Each structure stands twice: as structure tokens, then as C-alpha cells.
Chains A and B, each alone.
Chain A
Amino acid sequence: MSVLDALRIAVRAIIANRLRSLLTLLGLVIGVSSVIALIAVGQGTQQGVSDQIRGLGTDLIFVEPSAAATTQQGGGSALITTTLTQADAQAIAANGNPAISAVTSHITGDTQAIAGANNVGAESVFTFSNYAEVRDLEVSSGSFIAPSHDNAGSLVAVLGARVAETLYPGVDPIGQEVRLSFLAGRVVFGFTVIGVLQEVGGAADADDQVFVPLTGLANRFRFLYTPSGDLRVTQINVQTTPGANTEEVKQQVSDLLLFRHNRTDPDFTIESQDDLLDAASEVANTLSILLGSIAGISLLVGGIGVMNIMLVSVTERTREIGIRRAVGATATDIVNQFVTEALALSVFGGVLGILIGVAASLLVDGSSVGDQEITTVIQAWSIAAAFGVSAGIGLLSGLYPAWRATVIDPIAALRNE
């Protein structure tokens, strides 16, 4: 019997049992499409996080107060308990290390930005004039914080692109007053807008942030000064020169801070952008594997569905098998018939699943759940794997019923009415 004949018989049998074939297909389609879509979501998340970390700037090293240091001092917010100061940042910059090109520092805080009737939740970054340079930020209008603002402790603000859009729709924000509400509205200060940043796009933070001179805020919140008169900061950003040995710079910065803090064990953590990328990829990979496994299980269940249907089909078609054997079909012919039928079902289900999976991935891409934007990245390997598994399951789930079909006694089968 030719392959074409086997295929024709299979397609006829599938069409003859339309509803049953459709339900069987459904299992496979759901399995294959969910493998593709969920892996696309996992990979999209991974790429989103990577983009976000890369969007922070280039060649950055982040110094933060360590969790141990903050809890040792009786909890409270990192702001109160941080042992890092602006003087630390200046010392790192003043060290004359040729591998370090710039150093900035900042405090971040959740604030509500208010302008007239409009308001938006925005993270405020209290920092210095060189922050824009270290973080690769450009203004689209006005200017960023200037050194003169640092020195004077000016109450000025630079807005992220989305913040500006929300607060001042159709109005030039420069020169307007933006009020920032701290501590759930208990404290509100006004700032003069001096600049708006270019849109960074994607999952970057800067679009949703407001930038204010730390010295200006410290004029209002005196506790931001240590008893010895240094400004407290919650993060120091060290930019290394291109091609610098990041690990070496981390060590040098660490040594300097240990010396300045007069400690042997660090009260801070130092991480490079690569460290963050690695950690984030690991988390995202775990997510991908988790999602992929769940989808894989549904694919397996779909495959068992095919086997189940093929078994029912063999039992139902005992008489047909008897007739075919009486007219000269060999056991191999019968095996081929049922395996071809199972394969045709699962290949068709696989193709349909790919189409739906890809369509779902494209549809979900860019939509958001809560305030989290979902990005999907369709992986060729996930398509290949899902299709391969469904075809493989089809083959396997056809084999057993097919074997069952061959051990049917043709005489008994013919008597079966």
C-alpha cells in the first residue's frame, strides 16, 4: 500500500468522525499553542528585564547599603539607616582611578507628582547634576539639573517623558510648578520644572521618574544630613571607562569604602550591571522553564487524548479491520493505517497549534496586566520543540492501538457485527 493511499484512508477516517477528531485536535492544539505562547511570554519577560538593566546606562557599578547593615541598626527605612554618603561618592571620584569615568549618587522615593488637576504616581530621584551623564539621559526641552542647582539647593525638577505628558497635556511644562507629595501626602513641596527628558521607551524607568537636586530636598529634610554634616544617599553609581576591568574596579571601590567606614566586613553591596543581568536572566529563565513545563504537561495530556481516541477507534472498527485483512491487508498495512491516522491528527493539530500559539503571542505582545506590560518573544526552537513533541506523541500514541489492531483475529472481527 502506498503512502498516499494510507494518507487518504487516514483523512477519510478523520473526517468520518468529525466531532471526535475535533475534540482530539483541541487537546493537541491547546498543548502546542500554550507551549509556544508561554515560552514567548517567558522569553519576553527575560528580554524586558535585560533591556531595563541595559537601559540604566553603560558600564555601571551600583553601590547600595547592605541589608545586613540596615537591619543591624534596628530596621527602619534604608534612608535613615544607610551608611553611604555623598562624601563616599566624592571620595571614589577623587581617587584618580583611570578606570572610573564618573560617579554620582542619589536617593529614590515613591512620590505623587501633582500639577493643577492632574497627578501621577512617580518615583522621585534626588540626585546631582552629573546623574544624566552617568545614566545616559538626554533632555528634550529645557535642561537637566545644573551644578549651580546642586550648590544652591534649588527646588527645581526635571520630568520623565511620561510624567510630563500626564501632568501637562498640551502645555509646555518648563517654568510650571510641580508639587511632589511625600509620605502618603503628609508633606507636599513645590518645585519649578526646568527640563523634560527624552522618551526612553520600553520598560525603562526614567520615563516615569522625576529628578530633583538632592541638596534642595535636604534643605527641607534636615535628617538627610549625618551628624557630621554629610548627605546620606541610598545608591552610588560608578561609571567605568569602556574596557575597564569591572571586577577590579569593584574591589578598589570596596577597599576604599571599607577604609572610609573603618570596617573589615562591608556594610554595602557592590554589583555591576553584568551581575544584575545574570541574576535577572536566571529568574527569567526559571520563569520560562516553569511556564514551559506547565504547557508541556498540557501537551502530554493532549497526546494521551490522541492515544485514547485511537484505542476507541480500533475497538470500534474491529469489523473494518477484519474486512481489510480478509481482502489482503497485512498486519503492517493495518499498523500503517492507524499510525498514519494518529500522525495525520497530531501533525494537523501541531500546525494549528503553531498558528494559534504564534497568533496569541503576537496578540498579547504589548498588552498589560495591571501596570505590568507583557512583551513576548516567539522562539523558533519552542515552535520546533512543540511540533516535534506533538508529532512524536502522535506516532507513539498510534503505535500501541495499531499493534492492538493487528492482534485482532480476522475471523472473530468478521463475525463482529
Chain B
Amino acid sequence: MIRLEAVRKTFIAGETRIHALNGVNLEIERGEFVAIMGQSGSGKSTLMNIIGLLDRPDEGAYLLSGQNVAGLSEHARARLRGTAFGFVFQSYSLLPRMSALEQVELPLIYQGVRDRRRRAAEALVRVGLAERIGHKPTQLSGGEQQRVAIARSLVVDPLVVLADEPTGALDTATGREVMTLLSDLVDQHGMTIILVTHEPEVAAFAHRTVRMRDGNIVEDTGARTTSTMASQ
């Protein structure tokens, strides 16, 4: 479903050129739960931004469901980003002053979807926040805020949920709850999740680990093996 071929991305910081991605090849199938690991500066966030169409590669091909999206216009990428991907960030990334329901409705507004309210409420029920629909971020715990963010990523029925350090701001117990929720989405609903983390305990929830260093993939525990196992 996701196929990266010789993807390069270079940042220029002052006079030095940083090769964030140095010719990366990666293939991810539907239903996989992949953890991308690496130290900061290894290129794992850049990889996620490119997969999520937040950034575009300098070189190489990016095939999403067979379509090369590396050359799409900014407008088309924004539209595709809204329908194909759901994002979960370390810092929850919720808008202040909005109720949980409104947060989850937000992606649907930009897609012009009609029964937003119902779909947003369903997504909140799915993450176990049926009782917290009208609460604003300040009235929710960190774990609850992250669940709202997960509901917001699910509401568009994305191809892939991209989670960037989703437990980074949470205590261990709450982090485990959030990871269990993500695992359930993969195991019970066939969701595809790509997780970026530097914590091995978090990565352990995933079925496949891709380790990065200096813009290269240095280890890949193997495509499809886990998802095949999961389907058995």
C-alpha cells in the first residue's frame, strides 16, 4: 500500500547539508503495525512527514496505493492528507477551547462531510470517551486528550494512522493504555498504523520494527511477517 523507492531528503542548516533520508526503500502493507525507531536526528520523523504528505521528498518515488504522490501539488496533497492519513502527535495537538466532539469533527469539516456529528461521536465511542464528548482539552487528562487525538485520526477512515511518539507525554501506565488502544485498532479493525518512537517498550507493541540511523534503514524485522501471523 505504501511504497518508498530511493527517497532522499536533504536539509540545509547554515552551511552544512544534513541528509535526513539517504535513499530509503520501504514497503508497508495494509493491516501492518510498524514501529519506526531511531535516535533523534536519525531521520525517522522526516520519514513519517513524507509518508504523511506533510513533506515531500527531494528525490525518489512515493507510491500510495499504486499512485505516485511525490509530484502532487500542494493542494492535492492537502486533500489526500485529510482523507488517507490520521495523525497522532506527542503533544496531542488539540485546539484550545473546543469540545472533544468538535476536535474530532474538524477533519470532516475540511472534507465537507455531512453527518459529521454522528461520525465524530462514533469515533469517540470507539476510543472509550463516550462520557467525555462535551469536555474541552483543559478538562481532560493527558491520556484522554490523546484518545481524542486518536479518535480524530480515525474519524476519516484513513488508510494509515501515523503516530509520532504518542506516549511521549504520558506516564507509563497511561502510555500502555494508549498503546493497547492502538494495538486493538490493528488487531480487531484491521487498521494500518505507523508508529514513530525511540522507546523499545512502546515499539514492542508493534508487529514490525524499522530501525533508522543517519538517514538509512539499518534494520527491518521483516515485512508482512507479523501481519501474516496476526491473520492466522
Residue in chain B with minimal CB distance to A330:
B78
User: A1-B110, A323-B93 in contact; A329/B75 too (CB < 8 A)?
Assistant: no
A16 CB-CB contact with B under 8 Å: yes
B79 CB-CB contact with A under 8 Å: yes
A333 CB-CB contact with B under 8 Å: yes
What B residues does A327 contact at CB under 8 A?
Answer: 82, 87, 106-107, 110, 152
B 36-61 binary contact with A (CB < 8 Å = 1; else 0): 00000000000001001011000000
Min distance, Cβ B163 to any Cβ of chain A, angstroms = 12
A414 CB-CB contact with B under 8 Å: yes
User: Is the pair B82, A329 in contact by a Cβ cutoff of 8 Å?
Assistant: yes
User: Is the pair A331, B75 in contact by a Cβ cutoff of 8 Å?
Assistant: yes
What B residues does A1 contact at CB under 8 A?
Answer: 109-110, 112
B 68-82 binary contact with A (CB < 8 Å = 1; else 0): 000000110011011
B117 CB-CB contact with A under 8 Å: no
- Determine the interface band of chain A, counting residues with CB < 8 A from chain B: 20 to 34
CA distance A411 to B77 in the complex (A): 14
Min distance, Cβ B153 to any Cβ of chain A, angstroms = 8
User: Is the pair B75, A417 in contact by a Cβ cutoff of 8 Å?
Assistant: no
User: Is the pair A331, B49 in contact by a Cβ cutoff of 8 Å?
Assistant: no
What B residues does A319 contact at CB under 8 A?
Answer: 93
User: Is the pair A323, B110 in contact by a Cβ cutoff of 8 Å?
Assistant: no
What B residues does A410 contact at CB under 8 A?
Answer: 54
Min distance, Cβ B37 to any Cβ of chain A, angstroms = 20
CA distance A298 to B95 in the complex (A): 36
User: A410-B54, A411-B49 in contact; A328/B95 too (CB < 8 A)?
Assistant: no
CA distance A330 to B152 in the complex (A): 17
User: A320-B95, A326-B54, A410-B54 in contact; A331/B74 too (CB < 8 A)?
Assistant: yes
Most buried by A among B78, B87, B95, B97: B78
Min distance, Cβ A319 to any Cβ of chain B, angstroms = 8
A248 CB-CB contact with B under 8 Å: no
CA distance A230 to B19 in the complex (A): 110
B 141-185 binary contact with A (CB < 8 Å = 1; else 0): 000000000001000100000000000000000000000000000
What A residues does B110 contact at CB under 8 A?
Answer: 1, 324, 327-330, 333
A332 CB-CB contact with B under 8 Å: yes
B22 CB-CB contact with A under 8 Å: no
CA distance A323 to B145 in the complex (A): 14
B83 CB-CB contact with A under 8 Å: yes
User: Is the pair B55, A16 in contact by a Cβ cutoff of 8 Å?
Assistant: no
What B residues does A331 contact at CB under 8 A?
Answer: 74-75, 78
B226 CB-CB contact with A under 8 Å: no
B89 CB-CB contact with A under 8 Å: yes
CB proximity to B under 8 Å, residues A122-180 = none
Min distance, Cβ A18 to any Cβ of chain B, angstroms = 12
Interchain CB contact (< 8 A) of B95 among A5, A323, A414, A417? A323
B138 CB-CB contact with A under 8 Å: no
Min distance, Cβ B76 to any Cβ of chain A, angstroms = 9
CA distance A2 to B114 in the complex (A): 11
Interchain CB contact (< 8 A) of A328 among B74, B91, B107? B107
User: Is the pair B78, A325 in contact by a Cβ cutoff of 8 Å?
Assistant: yes
User: Is the pair A326, B87 in contact by a Cβ cutoff of 8 Å?
Assistant: yes
Min distance, Cβ B97 to any Cβ of chain A, angstroms = 6
CA distance A417 to B92 in the complex (A): 11
What A residues does B55 contact at CB under 8 A?
Answer: 411
Interchain CB contact (< 8 A) of A326 among B74, B75, B93? B93
What B residues does A330 contact at CB under 8 A?
Answer: 74-75, 78-79, 110
What A residues does B74 contact at CB under 8 A?
Answer: 330-331
Residue in chain B with minimal CB distance to A322:
B93
Question: Given A16-B97, A320-B95, A328-B79, 15 other A-B contacts at CB below 8 A?
Answer: A1-B112, A324-B106, A325-B54, A325-B78, A326-B81, A327-B107, A328-B107, A328-B111, A329-B78, A330-B110, A331-B78, A332-B75, A333-B78, A411-B49, A411-B54
Query: Which residues of A approach B to under 8 Å, CB–CB?
Result: 1-2, 5, 12, 16, 319-320, 322-333, 410-411, 414, 417
8 residue pairs A–B, Cβ–Cβ below 8 Å: A12-B97, A322-B93, A325-B54, A326-B54, A327-B107, A330-B75, A331-B78, A411-B54
